[in-house]
């Protein structure tokens, strides 16, 4: 029996392959998963496998309820339990991405939110991209990866909040992003890295830079929610 539909496996493979193309990670420092909620499972990149070598058959199916691998000989990404925490907390999401993209990691290592300094940021993120609190010694010693996911859920809030803020930084670690599909979660990672780089350069030029709240709200709402008018329906 093959766990995870061919369509889901294909979507997760393509999303993982997008990580090196977008320069979001060096070596194998990133992973994407996608979920089949009806089947109660998600599939995720195997640990340490190069993106160029990755195939649909390599992807690891994981039971959503237990975190147990359902099939195959490969171990899932070490971040699998973080992904599982998000899927359990936020029923509307369909994909999760974790990377170590340079500029987003810089904010995480500095223990700083990424501030809203322009409309590029506001188009996707409804406010500053938050950094979590640090994990306690106890949280690092036991269930580390699951607790990594939990501190993000703690920082973001409920499913509605996760829709408006599809990214967070784990203090001293790096970014996680999520979305309706595996590829959308990667796209949010691409946007996150771009706005992190813009923020660093903006603050270097003007440490007091800000963006008016009314402008932030206008840009977010024209792409999200019932009054959104950006883009066109798919053909």
Nearest CA to 84 among 107, 106, 60?
Answer: 60
33 to 3, 19, 65, 109, 193: CA distances (angstroms)? 14, 12, 15, 24, 19
Asked if 57 is an active-site residue, the reply is no
| Helices marked H in 157-212 | 159-164, 182-205
Which one from 111, 158, 159, 230 is the annotated catalytic residue?
A: 230
d(CA 17, CA 127): 29
DSSP character at residue 69:
B
Q: Cβ distance 155 to 193 under 8 Å?
A: no
Which one from 58, 63, 123, 143 is the annotated catalytic residue?
A: 123
Going 194 to 199 to 205 to 209, the CA torsion angle's sign is positive
3-state secondary structure of 175: strand
Nearest CA to 132 among 146, 114, 111?
Answer: 111
Asked if 229 is an active-site residue, the reply is no
d(CA 207, CA 49): 41
The catalytic site residues sit at 123, 230
């Amino acid at each position: 029996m093959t766990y995870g539909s061919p369509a889901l496996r294909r979507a997760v493979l393509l999303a993982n392959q997008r990580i090196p193309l977008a320069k979001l990670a060096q070596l194998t420092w990133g992973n994407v998963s996608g979920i089949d909620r009806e089947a109660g499972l998600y599939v995720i990149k195997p640990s340490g496998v190069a993106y160029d070598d990755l195939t649909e058959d390599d992807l690891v199916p994981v039971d959503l309820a237990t975190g147990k691998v359902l099939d195959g000989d490969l171990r899932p990404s070490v971040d699998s339990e973080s992904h599982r925490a998000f899927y359990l907390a936020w029923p509307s999401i369909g994909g999760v991405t974790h990377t170590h993209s340079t500029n987003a990691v810089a904010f995480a290592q500095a223990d700083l939110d990424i501030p809203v300094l322009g409309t590029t940021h506001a188009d996707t993120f409804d406010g500053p991209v938050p950094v979590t609190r640090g994990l306690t010694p106890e949280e690092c010693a036991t269930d580390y990866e699951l607790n990594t996911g939990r501190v993000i859920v703690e920082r973001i809030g409920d499913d509605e909040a996760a829709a408006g803020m599809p990214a967070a930084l784990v203090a001293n670690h790096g970014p996680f992003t999520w979305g309706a599909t595996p590829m959308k979660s990667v796209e949010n990672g691409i946007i996150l890295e771009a706005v992190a780089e813009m923020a660093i350069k903006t603050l270097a030029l003007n440490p007091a830079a800000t963006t008016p709240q009314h402008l932030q709200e206008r840009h977010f709402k024209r792409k999200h929610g019932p009054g959104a008018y950006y883009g066109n329906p798919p053909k």
